[in-house]
């Protein structure tokens, strides 16, 4: 089995060669955010730097300075004379890839320093991050917790076996009788992965659910969801379409990777395509759109479907284990924190109208996330399980 360090190295070199798929690029970024892999990552970047022909080391503080200028769009070199050559070679090494990787390191390191140098506004009532886990509801109404069983076989009346293995639910064997319906749901503060009976994979964000049959036997493979779910759909030789139904829309695919965000408290349903092709149809407006990779559809009640270019990094941040707050309205940021940390949010006074830039690991406690906002003038306090913003 390939180790995490080995997989990071493999993906790194594929990126340098320009052969990464979009899904692999997201996987690469998730490895780059892991603290224990930072030494491996730095060695890889260091080796790539030396291949440009300049054997001089680049001090970390100068790298950070150059990164800030690049991210700010500055065309001026960070260093004088010889530094101009350094700047140009820095830009040439792996192009946007190194910017992405170093931005991960930069944002993580800067946040860590901010946390270590200041007292947390919620230190006395800190909240731990979410974990893996879900609830499986069987056809007869029985519920089975999927975060406390270890490896376990769950039998239902259809004869199909649902197996919890290594924290993931999957189906083995053929149903002896007629298929029955199962539902997997995640509460706030949980996320979960399962393999559907046809081999397709689904990842549930917190406060989400998916309902599906224990076997796909008809001309269609249909599931229904609520909340946010990322799919990697298995293409079948028979060409049987895979259909995802949710609030206001249906998504039809043959084999593809895509994310659907359909939380009930959002006015819009957003479908983002990473690989393949999907057709999006609105239930309340006679329209449909075909999405290509990198596009996102927006479906609202009684409105035509809109299509726009997607920020894939931002859409996939939750699955890859981090928050991406770039250009995200403050209320939406608080919604994300509410779901992941299983807290309520209350505003005293007006809702802040501010936006932020940056990424943060989702494995940190709530206090560390709130440090991210400390320079904005926004203040927080915890009252039991409610985060009060004033």
Q: Is the pLDDT of residue 336 over 50?
A: yes
Instruction: Evaluate whether 25 touches 31 at the Cβ level (below 8 Å).
Output: no
> What percent of the chain stands above pLDDT 90?
41
CA atoms within 13 A on the CB side of 265: 9
Whose tokens are 């109404």? That residue is: 141
Judged by average pLDDT, the poorest of 1-10, 55-64, 197-206, 262-271 is 55-64
User: What value does the mean pLDDT take over residues 138-145?
Assistant: 89
Measured distance CA(136)–CA(211) in Å, rounded: 10
Q: Is the pLDDT of residue 52 over 70?
A: no
CATH topology of domain 123-128+321-389: Phage tail protein beta-alpha-beta fold (3.55.50)
Q: Is the pLDDT of residue 153 over 90?
A: no
Query: What per-residue confidence (pLDDT) applies to 93?
Result: 44
Measured distance CA(299)–CA(283) in Å, rounded: 9
- What's the token pair of residue 159? 């004869």
Measured distance CA(199)–CA(185) in Å, rounded: 19
Mean pLDDT of the chain: 79
Query: What per-residue confidence (pLDDT) applies to 48?
Result: 67
Which phi-psi region, left, alpha or beta, contains residue 367 (left: φ > 0; alpha: ψ -120 to 50)? Answer: alpha
- What's the token pair of residue 60? 């970390």
What DSSP letter does each residue of 312-368 carry, written as one string? HHHHTHHHHTEEE-BT--HHHHHHHHHHHHT-EEEESSSPP---B--EEETTS-HHH
Name the pLDDT band for 172 (thresholds 50, 70, 90).
confident
CA atoms within 13 A on the CB side of 81: 0
Q: Which of 388, 267, 246, 248 is nearest to 259 (CA)?
A: 246
Q: Is the pLDDT of residue 292 over 90?
A: yes
Q: Is the pLDDT of residue 49 over 50?
A: yes
Whose tokens are 């509410």? That residue is: 338
Instruction: Evaluate whether 223 touches 244 at the Cβ level (below 8 Å).
Output: yes
Question: Under 8 Å CB-to-CB from 383, ≥6 apart: which residues?
Answer: 346
Query: What per-residue confidence (pLDDT) applies to 125?
Result: 62
Q: Which of 218, 259, 258, 224 is nearest to 240 (CA)?
A: 218
Measured distance CA(198)–CA(46) in Å, rounded: 43
Classify residue 311 as exposed, middle or buried by CB count within 10 Å of its CB (0-12, 13-18, 19+): middle
pLDDT in tens, 195-220: 999 999 999 999 999 999 998 888 99
Phi first, then psi: what are they for 264, rounded to 5°?
-60, -30
Phi first, then psi: what are they for 230, rounded to 5°?
-105, 135
Per residue, the 3-state secondary structure of 358-390, as one string, reads CEEECCCCHHHHHHCCHHHCCCEEEECCEEEEC
Instruction: Evaluate whether 227 touches 208 at the Cβ level (below 8 Å).
Output: yes
DSSP state of 35: G
Query: What per-residue confidence (pLDDT) applies to 53?
Result: 47
Answer whether CATH 2.60.120.1440 is correct for domain 131-314: yes
Q: Which of 203, 191, 182 is nearest to 147 (CA)?
A: 191
pLDDT in tens, 73-104: 433 433 333 444 444 444 444 444 554 555 45
Measured distance CA(278)–CA(293) in Å, rounded: 9
Judged by average pLDDT, the poorest of 48-57, 173-182, 310-319, 331-340 is 48-57
Query: What per-residue confidence (pLDDT) applies to 262?
Result: 95
User: What value does the mean pLDDT take over residues 227-241?
Assistant: 91
CATH topology match: 123-128+321-389 vs 131-314: no
Strongest mean pLDDT among 18-32, 147-161, 312-326: 312-326
Instruction: Evaluate whether 13 touches 37 at the Cβ level (below 8 Å).
Output: no
Q: Return the SS3 of 162.
A: strand
Q: Which of 163, 160, 128 is nearest to 146 (CA)?
A: 163
Domain limits of the chain? Answer: 4-117, 123-128+321-389, 131-314
Judged by average pLDDT, the poorest of 127-131, 161-165, 188-192 is 161-165
Q: Is the pLDDT of residue 65 over 80?
A: no
User: What value does the mean pLDDT take over residues 11-34?
Assistant: 74
Angle subtended at Cα 7 by Cα 316 and Cα 48, rounded to the nearest 5 degrees: 95
Q: Which of 225, 223, 232, 307 is nearest to 270 (CA)?
A: 307
Total Cβ atoms within 10 A of residue 377: 8
Q: Is the pLDDT of residue 223 over 70?
A: yes
Q: Is the pLDDT of residue 315 over 50?
A: yes
Query: What per-residue confidence (pLDDT) applies to 175?
Result: 60
């Amino acid at each position: 089995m390939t180790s995490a360090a080995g997989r990071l190295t493999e993906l790194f070199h594929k990126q340098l060669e320009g052969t990464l798929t979009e899904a692999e690029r997201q996987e690469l970024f998730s490895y780059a955010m892991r603290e224990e892999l930072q030494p491996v990552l730095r060695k890889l970047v260091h080796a790539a730097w030396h291949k440009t022909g300049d054997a001089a080391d680049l001090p970390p503080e100068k790298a950070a300075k150059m990164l800030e200028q690049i991210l700010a769009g500055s065309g001026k070199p960070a260093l004088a004379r010889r530094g101009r050559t350094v700047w140009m070679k820095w830009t040439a090494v792996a192009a946007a890839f190194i910017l992405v990787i170093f931005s991960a390191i930069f944002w993580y390191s800067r946040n860590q320093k901010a946390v270590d140098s200041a007292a947390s506004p919620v230190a006395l009532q800190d909240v731990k991050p979410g974990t893996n886990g879900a609830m499986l509801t069987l056809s007869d109404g029985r519920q089975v917790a999927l975060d406390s069983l270890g490896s376990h076989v769950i039998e239902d009346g259809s004869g199909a076996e649902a197996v919890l293995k290594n924290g993931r639910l999957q189906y083995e064997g053929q149903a002896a009788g007629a298929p029955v319906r199962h539902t997997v749901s995640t509460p706030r503060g949980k996320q979960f992965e399962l393999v559907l009976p046809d081999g397709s994979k689904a990842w549930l964000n917190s406060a989400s659910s998916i309902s599906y049959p224990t076997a796909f036997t008809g001309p269609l493979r249909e599931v229904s969801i609520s909340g946010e779910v990322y799919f990697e759909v298995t293409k079948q030789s028979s060409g049987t379409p895979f259909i995802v139904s949710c609030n206001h829309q249906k998504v039809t695919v043959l084999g593809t990777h895509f994310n659907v965000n359909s939380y009930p408290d959002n006015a819009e349903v957003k479908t983002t395509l990473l690989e393949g092709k999907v057709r999006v149809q609105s239930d309340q407006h006679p329209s449909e759109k075909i999405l290509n990779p990198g596009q996102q559809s927006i479906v609202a009640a009684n409105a035509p479907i809109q299509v726009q270019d997607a920020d894939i990094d931002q859409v996939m941040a939750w699955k890859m284990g981090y928050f991406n707050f770039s250009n995200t309205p403050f209320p939406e940021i608080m919604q994300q924190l509410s779901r992941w940390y299983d807290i309520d949010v209350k505003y005293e006074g007006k809702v802040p109208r501010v936006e932020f830039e940056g990424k943060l690991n989702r494995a940190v406690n709530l206090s560390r996330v709130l440090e991210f906002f400390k320079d904005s003038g926004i203040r927080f306090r915890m009252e039991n399980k409610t985060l009060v913003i004033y």
